[in-house]
């Protein structure tokens, strides 16, 4: 679904590249998390996949389309939608349904079909009863779910979330993560960029970025065995996750994500 081949990208010739010889393939329908400390190149990578930037070297293929091919630009943007950090910057209209209609209208989708899509995507993100509400009255998590609905209405095959939960409170983060899980179950390919280690546990695979390089690429369980290495990349694994991972390894039935001690206690003593 997404292939990066010896991908490099520099903002400035004088500086080290922001993406440095990165190669990987993401399969259709998979759920991949991308972690790495500030400035490691995560957002740059997302923008390269979305064809907002073009490679300095190497190639990016999205559903077989090379991002360097100008004829494919619209098709790539339609295939790979992006959800950003700040929900307020992504909502454009004064009524929820108009906001969701914005993307499909730009794609030239007929009115009647847009109406159907609005209903469908609101039900996927669990916001049916908010169709006629003004988005600015919603909570952060709800706004972000509307932003996701707006992307979904364009029927993408891939959604890239660039720190889409980082401005939300814990309950908002949970809402959005639940939504992402639903999208994955529906077969959408998920790329989740995050600095919350507990969110990584929902993914099937984790890519760890460090100074523009892809330094680890494996399952969450395998990645978290490299505690010292992760610490050297400034990626601290929360104690509660370390504990939950240990318990799971020891055979306890733990369901991730585990955010808090209460979450863990609830699972151990239901
Ligand atoms: N518009 C820009 N112009 C010049 N350099 C940039 C620009 N955007 C990012 N960079 C640099 O490119 C490198 C990678 O940045 P990027 O934003 O991709 O990292 P990130 O992993 O998303 O970081 P964060 O966790 O802070 O979001 C950093 O060194 C950053 O300073
Ligand atoms: Mg970033």
**169, 267: one domain:** no
CB 60 within 8 A of CB 48: yes
**187, 262: one domain:** no
Take atom 16 of ligand 1 and give the residue whose Cα is closest: 41
**161, 254: one domain:** no
Average pLDDT of the residues in 64-82: 95
**50, 163: one domain:** yes
**194, 261: one domain:** no
**129, 242: one domain:** no
Q: Which ligand 1 atom is the nearest neighbour of the CA of 163?
A: 27
In a domain, 25, yes or no: yes
Which of 161, 154, 139 is closest to 88 using CA atoms? Answer: 139
**170, 256: one domain:** no
Provide the pairing of β-strand 205-210 with 213-218: antiparallel
Task: Determine if the pTM surpasses 0.85.
Answer: yes
d(CA 119, CA 216): 40
Stretch (H or E) spanning 113: helix 111-124
In a domain, 231, yes or no: no
In a domain, 163, yes or no: yes
| pLDDT tens-digit series, residues 5-57 | 999 999 998 889 999 999 999 999 999 999 999 999 999 999 999 999 999 99
Structure tokens at 180: 């992402």
Q: Say whether 78 sits in a helix, a strand or coil.
A: helix
| pLDDT tens-digit series, residues 200-248 | 888 999 999 999 999 999 998 888 888 889 989 988 787 888 888 888 8
Provide the pairing of β-strand 158-162 with 189-193: parallel
The pLDDT assigned to 22 comes to 98
**177, 264: one domain:** no
Provide the pairing of β-strand 31-35 with 205-210: parallel
In a domain, 32, yes or no: yes
Alpha helix (H) ranges present in 15-95?
A: 42-49, 73-79
Structure tokens at 59: 């190639």
Backbone angles phi, psi at 7, to 5 degrees: -80, 125
The pLDDT assigned to 267 comes to 87
Which of 176, 171, 19, 3 is closest to 84 using CA atoms? Answer: 176
Ligand of minimum distance to the alpha carbon of 84: 2
Q: Which of 14, 22, 44 to mutate to test the pocket of ligand 1 (most atoms within 8 A of CB)?
A: 44
Residue 28: give its domain's CATH number.
3.40.50.300
Residue 67: domain span: 2-225
End-to-end CA distance of the chain: 40
Q: Which ligand 1 atom is the nearest neighbour of the CA of 193?
A: 22
């Amino acid at each position: 679904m997404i292939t990066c081949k010896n991908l490099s990208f520099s903002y400035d010739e004088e500086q080290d590249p922001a993406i440095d010889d990165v190669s990987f393939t993401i399969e259709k329908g998979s759920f991949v998390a991308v972690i790495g400390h500030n400035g490691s190149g995560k957002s740059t990578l997302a923008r390269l996949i979305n064809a907002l930037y073009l490679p300095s070297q190497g190639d990016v293929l999205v559903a077989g389309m090379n991002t360097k091919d100008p004829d494919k630009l619209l098709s790539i943007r339609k295939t790979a939608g992006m959800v950003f950090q700040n929900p307020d910057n992504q909502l454009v209209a004064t009524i929820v349904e108009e906001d969701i209609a914005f993307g499909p209208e730009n794609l030239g989708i007929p009115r009647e079909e847009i109406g159907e899509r609005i209903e469908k995507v609101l039900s996927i993100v669990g916001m049916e009863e908010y169709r006629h509400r003004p988005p600015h009255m919603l909570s952060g998590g709800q706004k972000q779910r509307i932003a996701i609905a707006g992307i979904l209405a364009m029927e993408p095959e891939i959604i890239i979330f660039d720190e889409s939960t980082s401005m939300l409170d814990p309950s908002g983060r949970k809402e959005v993560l639940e939504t992402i899980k639903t999208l994955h179950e529906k077969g959408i390919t998920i790329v989740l960029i995050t600095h919350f280690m507990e969110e990584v546990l929902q993914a099937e695979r984790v890519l760890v970025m460090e100074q523009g390089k892809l330094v680890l690429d494996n399952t969450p369980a395998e990645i978290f065995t490299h505690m010292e290495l992760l610490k050297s990349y400034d990626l601290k694994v929360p104690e509660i996750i370390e504990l939950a991972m240990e318990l799971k390894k020891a055979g306890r039935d733990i369901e991730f994500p585990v955010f808090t001690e209460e979450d863990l206690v609830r699972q151990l003593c239901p």
